[in-house]
Structure 1
Amino acid sequence: MRLGPISMYLIFGAENVQAIFRNSRSLSFEFMQLRIAEKVKGLPQSDKLKLGLDDSGSGSVPLNGQRGDERIWHNLHSIYLKNLTERSAVDFLTHKFAAEFAKQLDSLPWTQSTTGLYAFLQRYQFNASTITLVGPRILNYGKDAENKAETQLQFSGTFWEYDAAFMTLMQGMPRFMCRKGWAARDRTLEATKMWLREATEAAEATTASPNKDPEWDENFGHRLVRERNAELVRYGISFDGRAAMHMGLIWAINANAVPMTAYILFELARDPALLQRVRSEIRVGGVFPRGVGALGEVDIAALVKLPLLNSVYSECLRMRSSIPISRRLREDVVIDGYTLKKDSFLLAPSWLSHMNEEVWAPRSSVSPGSSAGKGVSNGKGNGHIPGAHEFWAERFLQLEASKTKIKLGDYCPYGGGTVICPGRFFAKHEILAAVAMVVTRFDLGFEGYTMLDGATPSERGPGMEKAECRGIVSLDRDMVVNMRRRDGF
């Protein structure tokens, strides 16, 4: 793989980002993915070299003369598209997640509890999402050999320690400077290997059934994982390499959806009026067709049509997502008088565009006295129109009412171009379903904030100090809430 000179630029404005999309190819598969796989997932060097041989891109038309059987990135991307973007596949994933999350919530041994809301989701939403993706086996792993405490027997605890060290590991921090992070990564990888070994053995021992292509099974979980594993085997990736790649997929599905669910619930819990409006919208919208006593069944079409909940989702995504839009230029591009040379690598952080006051300031057509301009969900009284750095639940409702179109580059929480995140549809459905299920089942009484250790109080909520370019911004603290089962549960 030939790497040209690396140039890092901060690209401001939709037109500039659009120019990059038009004149570039994705860097993520050719450079960023391999770096992440090596530094953070433990991909063996031999597998890294083998994967690096494919420089044809992930699109249907190869960027060089490589044949189809040599195009591992394109083949993997096709598997993602089949299993993560087709409506029937996304609907299956969402229904499976809702059923598993309902089981997790039904298993709670208490009627009322004061707890960290993010910590709650890190266990129960994580478990449901992981079962949906890879089946239940892996949740039994992750034990710390030197700490036999019950909390250390759960894969979720090990996973979130690994997640906390993700960026430090990607930066190449040596073991002696990041012992806890490296140890968590090693335990997470070992748990993934144990799961992959047992899943493979169980699948091979299973007799053939009439249903040769089930959507989900106990061994590999969703069909996506089974097909992805088969393609990696065909391409010659080792067992250890496949485990590293699967660990990355488990990380991707949880490290973004769980924090985003938390951010939305934080906004609702700290604003009882907004929480009640969203609850009412869920009830009237018929999200749970069999009633609130059967939360495991979700009407996805109704869920994605709830205007206020979807506006809150989009607003939280605007404020709390930060991705590096990474590209390699196919030809010279001139932007603002500067010539960006062919084969240069570019990183455009999305969060800067998401905070652009010129784009996100409310339009002049909205008067402070109108329903869209009251700022009722900001606790600052009527007439206050929030700026780009403030949360405004109705921001996207106002944009829709004013028929304002947001350009590519101004809002790109999932990236853009041919390699836009293929899991964006399921991610949204999972997040919205999780929020709807939590606020319908529980009353959430805001108590305060605490640092992630659960013992150190905080005077404020999560900030943007950890706004590293990795997807959804990591939470630097939790919200303590009094969770009480609502009547009927």
Structure 2
Amino acid sequence: MVEGFLSDRLLIYCLSPLVLSCVVLAGTRIFTTLRYHREVAEALHGSSPRYTPPHVPYTIPLLGSTLSFLDGNPGLFWKRLFSWYPRETGACTVMLGGRQLHMLFNPLALEALFKHRELTREGVIMDNVILKGLGIEPAMAKKFFGHGDTTPMPRTGRNPQEIHTWMEQEFLLKSERVNELTANFARLLRDHLAQELDTSPQEGRQVDLKAWARSRIFRASTDTIFGSSLLQEYPELEEDFFEFDRQFLSLFFGLPGFLSRKAYSARDKVFAGIIRWQNKMEEVTQQGSKIVPVDSIDWEPIFGSRANRVRQFYYHDRGIDVRTRAALDSGFLFGLSSNAIPATGWMLMHILDPSDKERTLYHRVRAELEQVRRPRGELFDSSRLVGLPLLNSIFYEILRLYVDALVTREIRDPLLLPTDNGRQLYFPPGGVIIAPSWVSQHNPGSYAGPRADQFYADRFIKPDPNTGKPRFSMSDTAGKLFPFGGGKTMCPGRVFARYEVLFSTAYILLNFDFDVLGYVDEKGNPTTRFPHFRDSYPGSVVVVADGDIRVTMKKRED
């Protein structure tokens, strides 16, 4: 009898944590579900002129929706969410990693959000990208950004904050400088491909097109910004960089090294290679008095562009250590290559899609490109190139379909944003708003033509009201299409990135002929489907393809 009593007590003792856990989980689910229904009713049918974004229900305290949000299938979280959550609310609040984050997807509210120039994302960028992703020490980050430092720098007479603005506005956004970068990129890509064109066998060469293009464009764009010295010192950079790119977002979670070995190893490998190059840069910058003003040369092989030259001298003058320099240059390289190159790959694959047996789109694009073609060896007019309606429509359709960006804003004061029903969304101070581009850009109600989850080359082409001719148009896309971000935090390299993608696509299509053989998967094995998204975390920006198309390329004869 005593033994039975003890065994019952032991059983209860063993089961009590499990029972308690079940009670907590069930209680959390019931509470968050009841809260959700109350808040949705207020959002859709309430009489108050303002409402807060309804909270998405969850079961596990603090963890909330984290696991489903981090599912590697791009867009899957949103597809599941909107199978039952009403889009009409315009926003929702999601528990991610112990923090309530406001997801905003109402176009009118988004348009208003991007106009609030006082809102920033500095804390998010500093914590996730600078400290966790790039592993920069806080003291070095403070020295680089120079917040609050009003001391003029000797070379320019500007303080650190002014220099950051100057570097962005003068060397990445100014039309004259963008044209300069574009001309140098075009020249370098042409030169890199010249030998390939001259040695192309008569019967052609069989390649996987996206992978082939990636290597050539990466070399040309890296040489354009950083100079040819970087790849000469570190020829393995391409493979190492794209492996780091694949692992980069996992570093944002701040997991210890033994739980993210691949990510830390990839980062260390890239940094080690760039440090070798950085040491050579430092040898040159120490000759300061013998070097012409930092922004006086448009391009040369050691420093590359004006933009990089100014950065390298700024590192030197601020006393930035070599490891931090390598990290910051890796971040610059991310902005340069991790989006424009995959976007070019998607463009080429859609234009040469094997399922288009008549190659209709390919012939339409080639015919349009003939308008800017010049005699062999001469570069075409970039100003005319970026005005071609079909090419631009395809470019923005690629961004609409394949960009997965999370545009963030930190709320420091109470914020009200308008919605379509005349009411306002209220966001309390201390929170973070995230505008997920995937939700807005895949919204079935936002775009005419074929379904929003399908590629449609003519989606951004409309007839000119005066001539009836087709023209490229971005009308009615405010708050619906923001692949480069929005407001004052839009990507500073967006203008050059667009030129880079359009020029690369045009130059390849005009200088080679193609026999399209079919689809291949990520391992190069033949398959029957068009490449899909490779697994990636939300916020990867341009999602990489999980396959390619195999073609036979040969030099164009006419």
Counterparts of residues 115-154 of structure 1 (less than 5 Å) = 115-142=207-234, 154=236
Q: Provide the C-alpha distance between the structure 2 equivalents of 1:224 and 1:34, rounded to a whole number of angstroms.
A: 25
CA distance 1:71–1:469, change in 2 (3 Å): farther
What amino acid is the match of 1:486?
R
| C-alpha displacement of 1:185 | 1.6
Counterparts of residues 383-394 of structure 1 (less than 5 Å) = 386-394=450-458
- SS of alignment partner, residue 103 of structure 2: coil
Give ranges in structure 2 of 5+ residues lacking alignment.
1-97, 153-157, 418-422, 466-470
CA distance 1:71–1:356, change in 2 (3 Å): farther
Partner residue of 1:44? 137
Check the 8 A contact 1:443/1:485 in 2, yes or no: yes
Q: Provide the C-alpha distance between the structure 1 equivalents of 2:291 and 2:430, rounded to a whole number of angstroms.
A: 50
CA distance 1:140–1:338, change in 2 (3 Å): same
Structure 1 residue 103 and structure 2 residue 162: aligned? Answer: no
Partner residue of 2:403? 321
User: TM-score, structure 2 length as denominator?
Assistant: 0.72
| C-alpha displacement of 1:117 | 1.6
Partner residue of 2:101? 8
Partner residue of 1:262? 345
Match of 1:435 among 483, 490, 505: 505
Partner residue of 1:252? 335
What amino acid is the match of 1:357?
P
Q: Provide the C-alpha distance between the structure 1 equivalents of 2:254 and 2:195, rounded to a whole number of angstroms.
A: 40
Q: Provide the C-alpha distance between the structure 1 equivalents of 2:311 and 2:443, rounded to a whole number of angstroms.
A: 39
Match of 2:529 among 449, 459, 466: 459
CA distance 1:169–1:400, change in 2 (3 Å): farther
Check the 8 A contact 1:443/1:484 in 2, yes or no: yes
* 1:141-192 CA-partner distances (Å, limit 9, x unpaired): 44xxxxxxxxxx5221111111111222333344334433322221111111
Q: Provide the C-alpha distance between the structure 2 equivalents of 1:407 and 1:282, rounded to a whole number of angstroms.
A: 26
Partner residue of 1:219? 302
Q: Provide the C-alpha distance between the structure 2 equivalents of 1:68 and 1:298, rounded to a whole number of angstroms.
A: 45
Segment of structure 1 superposing worse, 407-416 or 329-338: 329-338
What amino acid is the match of 1:40?
G
| C-alpha displacement of 1:24 | 6.1
User: TM-score, structure 1 length as denominator?
Assistant: 0.81
- SS of alignment partner, residue 360 of structure 1: coil
CA distance 1:14–1:171, change in 2 (3 Å): same
Give ranges in structure 1 of 5+ residues lacking alignment.
57-65, 143-152, 363-385
The CA RMSD over aligned residues, in Å, is 2.8
- SS of alignment partner, residue 102 of structure 2: coil
Q: Provide the C-alpha distance between the structure 1 equivalents of 2:362 and 2:151, rounded to a whole number of angstroms.
A: 51
Partner residue of 1:381? none
Partner residue of 1:308? 390
Partner residue of 1:91? 179
Q: Provide the C-alpha distance between the structure 2 equivalents of 1:248 and 1:19, rounded to a whole number of angstroms.
A: 29
Q: Provide the C-alpha distance between the structure 2 equivalents of 1:207 and 1:316, rounded to a whole number of angstroms.
A: 47
CA distance 1:121–1:40, change in 2 (3 Å): farther
Q: Provide the C-alpha distance between the structure 2 equivalents of 1:52 and 1:201, rounded to a whole number of angstroms.
A: 23
Check the 8 A contact 1:308/1:397 in 2, yes or no: yes
After TM superposition, the runs of 4+ consecutive aligned structure 1 residues lying more than 6 A away are: 209-212, 399-404
CA distance 1:34–1:75, change in 2 (3 Å): farther
Counterparts of residues 159-178 of structure 1 (less than 5 Å) = 159-178=241-260
Q: Provide the C-alpha distance between the structure 2 equivalents of 1:437 and 1:400, rounded to a whole number of angstroms.
A: 28
| C-alpha displacement of 1:415 | 0.9
Check the 8 A contact 1:141/1:154 in 2, yes or no: no
What amino acid is the match of 2:113?
I
What amino acid is the match of 1:426?
F
Structure having the higher Rg:
2
Q: Provide the C-alpha distance between the structure 2 equivalents of 1:23 and 1:88, rounded to a whole number of angstroms.
A: 29
What amino acid is the match of 1:446?
V
- Taking only the aligned residue pairs, the percentage that are identical comes to 26
| C-alpha displacement of 1:249 | 0.3
Partner residue of 1:371? none
| C-alpha displacement of 1:471 | 1.8
Q: Provide the C-alpha distance between the structure 2 equivalents of 1:312 and 1:461, rounded to a whole number of angstroms.
A: 17
Q: Provide the C-alpha distance between the structure 1 equivalents of 2:410 and 2:215, rounded to a whole number of angstroms.
A: 38
Structure 1 residue 79 and structure 2 residue 167: aligned? Answer: yes
| C-alpha displacement of 1:46 | 2.8
Q: Provide the C-alpha distance between the structure 2 equivalents of 1:234 and 1:262, rounded to a whole number of angstroms.
A: 39
Q: Provide the C-alpha distance between the structure 1 equivalents of 2:424 and 2:110, rounded to a whole number of angstroms.
A: 15
| C-alpha displacement of 1:276 | 1.1
Q: Provide the C-alpha distance between the structure 1 equivalents of 2:557 and 2:289, rounded to a whole number of angstroms.
A: 46
- SS of alignment partner, residue 459 of structure 1: coil
| C-alpha displacement of 1:305 | 1.2
- SS of alignment partner, residue 357 of structure 1: coil
CA distance 1:22–1:191, change in 2 (3 Å): same
Q: Provide the C-alpha distance between the structure 2 equivalents of 1:319 and 1:299, rounded to a whole number of angstroms.
A: 28
